[in-house]
Amino acid sequence: MRFTLALATLGRHRGRTVLAILGVAVASAMLLDMVMLSSGLRASFRDLLLSRGFQLRLSPKGTLPFDTDATIGGAAAMVSTLRALPDVVAVSPVLGGQLHIPREHGVITGFALGVEPRVQGDYELLSGHDPRRPDEMVANDDLLRAAGARPGDTLTAAAGYDAQLRALAGTRRLVITGRARFLYLSAGQPAAALPLSTLQNMRGADATDAVSLIMVRLRDDAIVEAARRRIQSALPRVEVNSTSEAMARVDQRLSYFRQLSFILGAVSLVVGFLLVTTLVTVSVNERLGEIAVMRAIGVSRVHVVEQVVLESGAIVLGGAVLGLALGLVTARYLNSILSSFPGLPAAIDFFLFQPRAVWAALGLLALCGVAASVYPAWRAAVHPVAGALREEAVA
pTM for the whole thing? 0.67
- State the Cα–Cα distance between residues 71 and 207, nearest whole angstrom: 8
The phi, psi pair for 4, rounded to 5°, reads -65, -40
- Residues in CB range of 395: below 8 A, 6 or more apart: 289
8 Å CB contact between 124 and 141: no
Domain boundaries, the chain: 2-48+253-394, 62-236
pLDDT at 195 over 90: yes
What's the one-letter identity of residue 391? E
Q: Which helix (H) or strand (E) holds 376?
A: helix 374-382
DSSP bridge partners of 175: 136, 154
Cβ 265 vs Cβ 34: under 8 Å: yes
Provide the residue type at 101 as one letter.
I
Distance CA 1, CA 8 (A): 11
Query: What pLDDT sits at residue 281?
Result: 84
Whole-angstrom Cα distance, residue 101 to residue 145? 12
What whole-number distance in Å separates Cα of residue 313 and Cα of residue 373? 8
User: What number of residues does the chain have?
Assistant: 395
The pLDDT assigned to 60 comes to: 86
Among 20-24, 26-30, 126-130, 254-258, whose mean pLDDT is lowest? 254-258
pLDDT at 164: 63
Is 150:203 a contact under the CB 8 Å cutoff?
no
Question: For residues 304 and 380, what is the distance between their CA atoms, to the nearest angstrom?
Answer: 7
* Ramachandran angles phi, psi of 107, nearest 5°: -105, 125
Between 105 and 1, the more confident residue is 105
Q: Is the pLDDT of residue 304 over 80?
A: no
The proportion of the chain whose per-residue pLDDT surpasses 90, expressed as a percent, equals: 17
347, pLDDT greater than 80: no
200-204 contacts, C-beta under 8 A, 24 or more apart: 200/95, 200/114, 201/170, 202/97, 202/157, 202/158, 202/159, 202/160, 202/170, 202/171, 202/172, 203/95, 203/97, 203/159, 203/160, 203/170, 204/159, 204/160, 204/169, 204/170
Which has the minimum average pLDDT: 38-47, 72-81, 129-138, 309-318?
A: 38-47
pLDDT at 15 over 70: yes
Distance CA 246, CA 255 (A): 14
CA 49 to chain centre: 13
Lowest mean pLDDT among 65-69, 213-217, 227-231, 239-243: 65-69
24-37: average pLDDT:
83
Alpha-carbon separation of residue 37 from 79, 258, 334, 392 (angstroms):
38, 7, 10, 51
Output 235 or 69, whichever has higher pLDDT.
235
Residue 141 to residue 287: CA distance in whole angstroms: 66
